[in-house]
Amino acid sequence: MLSDSGIFSTKIYFAYSQFQVFDKATLPGHHWTQGHFDQGFARTERNVSFGTPLEFGHGAVVVHRGPYEARDDHTRVIEVPFEVWTGEVVVGGPEEFPVKPERVFQLPKGHYRLVAAQTVADEDQENIDLYFEKLTEPLTKSRIVVADDAIHPPSPLLESAENP
């Protein structure tokens, strides 16, 4: 069930401790360095790979329009700049391609603050809330809002990664 700010929900299969969020016109995935792994994400302007606390499992994803709404059960929360170029955004695990319609949602073109808030539900299940806050100017830096024990971010955070 969607919350008041929820605009889309889906279930994904994340693998290799990651899932992707990307503009439909880009290719998913990144080459992760140790620094990216330590900070829990790798990104470019229109493509983000988020690390997951679990290595493999299923994610119940809810997409929200608007600012991040903090909750006590969120154990990992990461904020990154994100640009929607085509008006279509895809979410999925690295083994869920080619893109399926149930993984695509609509957002107006523009610059966003994307916040991924994760909660481990059980040994192979996570709840993932994605918050897209539309901005008038592009955000320039990422931020770790809540770090679990697996996050050991470098300083400064790595703000770019190579695509495969």
Cβ neighbours of 49 (radius 10 Å): 25
pTM: 0.95
Question: What is the pLDDT at residue 1?
Answer: 45
CA angle, residues 13, 33, 112, in degrees to nearest 5: 65
Q: Can you tell me the distance from the alpha carbon of 130 to that of 117, in angstroms, rounded to the nearest whole number?
A: 6
Superfamily name with CATH number, domain 6-146: Competence, DNA-entry nuclease inhibitor, ComJ (2.60.34.30)
Q: Which of 1-5, 39-43, 111-115 has the lowest mean pLDDT?
A: 1-5
Question: What is the pLDDT at residue 55?
Answer: 97
The first and second tokens of residue 6, run together, are 């929820």
- Any idea where the domains of the chain sit in the sequence? 6-146
